[in-house]
A and B are shown apart, each in its own frame.
Chain A
Amino acid sequence: MTAWGDPTLRTVLLGAGLLGLLSGALGCFAVLRRQSLLGDALAHASLPGVCLAFLAGSALGIDPKHPLLLLAGALATAWIGMLLILGIARTTRLKQDAAIGIVLSVLFGIGIALLTYILKNVGGANRAGLDKFLFGQAASLLPRDLQVMAVLGLVVFATLFLLFKQFQVLSFDPAYAASLGMPVRRLEVLLTSLLVIAVVVGLQTVGVVLMAAMIVTPAAAARQWTDRLGRMVLLAGLLGAAAGVLGATISSLRSRLPTGPVVVLCATAILGVSLLFAPRRGLLWAALRRARNRRRVRVENLLKDLWRLGEGDGSFDAVRALSDLRAVRGAGRPDVVRAWRDGLVRLEGTGVRLTAEGAERAGRVVRNHRLWELYLSRRLDLPDDHLHRDAEEMEHALDHEVWEEIDAALGRPRADPHGRPIPRGSPL
């Protein structure tokens, strides 16, 4: 690959991938512990550290833009920000969201003031690029930056791997974790410190302003696809890395766009796809399920109407004209076709007739309806004219287990509150 052959671009892609991997994996814990905005505060809190480190480097005559120096500065103030947030929430009556808001704005304000001062007053070509920390510029990554990021990443993943079960209980049930004798507060500080590292690693690429998106978005996307924490952490890391690589590529090759916004847009696209298409939790999935359910309800209503037309004289399997059915409830032709395809009715001339299977299904729906009416009437003391609508919905939803429980509780009744029989077994 030509992109891989270019060492500059290789550095950029590796850096962006590493950033996504770290922030994605750690973001899972932040999101699950409802601390999504903590990452945002930490990112903003790192800006004054970057500026102070730069100033210190200039004053001491060492390279003020050495990655170790800048990252150390960022780590220092982000970490102070973290302790402030945890401390404020713990010792005052302010809640954590208030603490996050305070710390974020104060430290970011200090950072902006320092940055403005540097850009105006500190000479030399060195200062150029410092403002990239606001919105990120992956193209400015150097191999030495990458080395530092790699070491930090290794530390984070090793800790995550070793203490996975502690972080898992801490995130699910902190009180229980404490009852097991786990040092919950220290684990909390440690986990948040890892988050600080992930944030700081991403600063140069994504920038302090949008870093929070890299914490939240890949984790939220990964949650759509899996129900297990371990897999979620891995997947969020991979999705974050993909967003990072993609965004950095677009930003470096196509334009001089700052990398942060592009990476964030890529991550958001991944999240959008996940929200729509993930099985079970996806919106599309839910819509399909609802549509399938509505079809089932219409077919069952059709069967029920057929059944009830025959209830008067026991002619459950008589042929009924479609026009009769429409008079009852307006069953559509597609529903009739569906019922026929499923073997629930036979088509005879212009009429339909219940099969044995269809009659059994219809009897079950009627039985559910009448049993539920009786249950509402006896147990909830609802007046008779309030029973029907609720039962219209419940007749399609009552599963066997619940039905059995209610039936037993009501003493296997024979008639509903209106005196109509509750059918048992197939009439055919």
Chain B
Amino acid sequence: MSAAPAQTPALEFHDLTVAYHTKPVLWDVDLAIPEGKLVAVVGPNGAGKSTLLKAALDLVPLASGFVRTFGRSYAEIRREVAYVPQRESVDWDFPSSVLDVVLMGRYGQMGWFRRPSRTDKEIALDALRRVGIAELRDRQISRLSGGQQQRAFLARALAQDARLYLMDEPFAGVDAVTERAIIALLRELRDRGRTVVCVHHDLQTAPEYFDWVVLLNMRLVAAGLLANAFTPENLQRTYGGRLASLETAATRLLRETRGASSLK
């Protein structure tokens, strides 16, 4: 019979290929991430980890394949998904207070022309409290430390109250105290049945923090519960050099079939 709702994966990639211009970034990725897990996406630089998140968020054009979130397309389900981009991806000198940034998390739920209501502000403040920087709510964001900036980004995602959280390196460049606070928060989300997928760089902490891993290096090397997937052989295959011939062949194929410029 058809799958029960609980068995629908939180995130599913079918034959996903993504290319920037003609350079392949992800090649034929087939992956289903179950709901309610704390998931690390691990792999070397340029392995396509961030791109995997962006593909899930419909932020990059797909060369082929498709993505399903809770069995639906992103457009249908986007209110259930919260994104935490890399901290360095924005200009922190932007004229904005911490609360302004967190309130952005409510914009997806608000009408087009509506201003944030008192409820929105309360939700945003509550999110700030949960990441432990409520007292910084009126501070200009450029005057935050790296760890505080990351907490502000997390609070913004929390304010969306989503079922699936996609986070791009939430531990990058934060202090030890913040790292502990973040992992505690992620576990709390997981324990409340949310799914959290993090691009993660630190192989040391990965097995300690996460219960599910995706090993990625342009193609999917392995995915599954920590015990099954996070093995020395799989790590060796993930980090043991790029598959040069696959990359060359894929580049050539894309150039011939798609031309140099037209992407979507």
**A positions within 8 Å CB-CB of B:** 32, 91-93, 162-163, 165-166, 168-169, 171-173, 175-176, 178-182, 223, 226-229, 231-232, 405
Contact = CB atoms under 8 A, between A and B. Distances in A.
Contact of A179 (B78, B140, B177): B78
Given A173-B104, A175-B85, A179-B57, A227 B96 contact: yes
B66 interface: no
Contact of B101 (A32, A172, A226): A172
Contacts of A168: 96, 100, 104
B94 A172 contact: yes
Contact of A32 (B59, B82, B94, B140): B94
B83 A179 contact: yes
A162 B110 CA distance: 13
A175 B107 contact: no
A188 B203 CA distance: 39
Contacts of B85: 173, 175-176
Q: 9 closest pairs, A vs B, by CB?
A: A180-B108, A179-B83, A227-B140, A181-B78, A179-B57, A229-B95, A173-B90, A172-B94, A162-B113
A226 B95 contact: yes
Contacts of A223: 95
A223 B91 CA distance: 14
B54 interface: yes
16 contacts: A32-B94, A91-B263, A93-B21, A165-B115, A169-B104, A172-B101, A172-B104, A173-B90, A175-B54, A175-B57, A176-B156, A178-B57, A179-B82, A179-B83, A180-B78, A227-B97
B152 to A, nearest CB: 12
Contacts of B116: 165
A230 to B, nearest CB: 9
Contacts of A171: 94
B4 interface: no
A368 B65 CA distance: 59
Contact of B83 (A32, A176, A182, A232): A176
Contacts of B78: 179-181
A173 B108 CA distance: 14
Contacts of A182: 107-108
Contacts of A228: 95-97, 100
Which of B90, B95, B262 is most buried by chain A, counting CB atoms within 10 A of its CB? B95
Contacts of A232: 95
Contacts of B75: 181
Contacts of A173: 85, 89-90, 104
B182 interface: no
Nearest to A178: B59
A405 B78 CA distance: 41
Contacts of B97: 227-228
Which of B54, B59, B94, B140 is most buried by chain A, counting CB atoms within 10 A of its CB? B94
Interface in B206-250: none
B81 interface: yes
Given A92-B261, A227-B140, 19 more contacts: A32-B95, A163-B112, A165-B107, A165-B116, A169-B107, A172-B90, A172-B94, A172-B96, A172-B101, A173-B85, A175-B59, A176-B104, A179-B82, A180-B107, A181-B79, A181-B108, A228-B95, A229-B96, A231-B95
Given A180-B78, A180-B107, A181-B75, A175 B89 contact: yes
A405 B21 CA distance: 47
A188 B79 CA distance: 22
Which of A92, A172, A180, A232 is most buried by chain B, counting CB atoms within 10 A of its CB? A180
A171 B54 CA distance: 19
Nearest to A93: B21
Interface in B61-114: 75, 78-79, 81-83, 85, 89-91, 94-97, 100-101, 104, 107-108, 110, 112-113
Contacts of A179: 57, 59, 78, 81-83
Contacts of B96: 168, 172, 227-229
Nearest to A34: B91
A115 to B, nearest CB: 34
A175 B89 CA distance: 9
Contacts of B82: 179
Contacts of A163: 112-113
Interface in B3-58: 21, 54, 57-58
A91 B95 contact: no
A160 B54 CA distance: 29
Contacts of A176: 83, 85, 104, 156
Which of A163, A175, A223, A226 is most buried by chain B, counting CB atoms within 10 A of its CB? A175
B104 A93 contact: no
B165 to A, nearest CB: 11
A219 to B, nearest CB: 10
Contacts of A165: 104, 107, 110, 115-116
